[in-house]
């Protein structure tokens, strides 16, 4: 069996962190790495002790949820809180950083931003990264052991099975298919 690459490994960590997000609009995770070692991780969520988007809805101003601290900022703040240097580190993010996070990443001395998905890539953020010599590299998470769309797939498969059931096909065959789906998607 082939080992997972470093980029896939760290991007998978970021996707795992994103599952902790409390924002309903976009779940983002970030992992800061230096010398192939994880030094911090973060996800987008409310200020500690405050109400969460998932509980009270997003607080949107000018198209942005202002209730959350972004994943990149949370990871950088974790380093600051515990005295972990970020100079010459890399960051793996599930989505391209926003303009504010871009500036924080540059100020923290991060040398490379690896991201999985484009997301409103701001032209000025791209310019700032270029001026600061910060490389941005798109890394699509493709390692088969990590499926970030399993809930959507589960809903789709159940929808298809229900349509089959409505067509009055072989009931035993449909029941067998449903059992197989249940064993694959244990939520």
Q: Which residues are identified as catalytic?
A: 72
Rounded Cα gap, residues 97 and 11, in angstroms: 14
- Tokens read off for 92: 């793996």
Within 8 A by CB and 6+ apart from 111, the residues are: 88, 89, 90, 133, 134, 135
Maximum C-alpha span of the chain: 64
Strand segments (E) across 1-129: 29-34, 37-43, 45-46, 60-61, 64-65, 68-69, 90-95, 112-117
DSSP character at residue 186: -
Rounded Cα gap, residues 34 and 80, in angstroms: 15
44, 54 contact by CB (below 8 A): no
Backbone angles phi, psi at 7, to 5 degrees: -60, -40
């Amino acid at each position: 069996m082939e080992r997972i690459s470093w980029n896939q490994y760290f991007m998978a960590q970021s996707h795992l962190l994103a599952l902790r997000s409390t924002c309903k609009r976009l779940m983002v995770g970030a992992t800061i790495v230096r010398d192939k070692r994880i030094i911090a991780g973060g996800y987008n969520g409310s200020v500690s002790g405050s109400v969460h988007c998932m509980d009270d809805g997003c607080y949107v101003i000018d198209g942005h949820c202002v209730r959350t601290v972004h994943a990149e900022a949370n990871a950088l703040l974790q380093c600051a809180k515990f005295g972990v240097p970020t100079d010459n580190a890399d960051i793996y993010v599930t989505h391209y950083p926003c303009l504010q996070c871009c500036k924080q990443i540059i100020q923290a001395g991060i040398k490379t931003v690896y991201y999985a998905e484009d997301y409103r890539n701001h032209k000025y953020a791209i310019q700032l990264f270029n001026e600061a010599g910060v490389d941005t590299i798109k890394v699509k998470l493709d390692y088969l052991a990590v499926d970030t769309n399993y809930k959507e797939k589960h809903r789709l498969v159940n929808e298809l099975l229900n349509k089959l059931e409505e067509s009055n096909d072989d009931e035993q065959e449909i029941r067998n298919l449903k059992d197989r789906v249940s064993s694959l998607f244990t939520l």
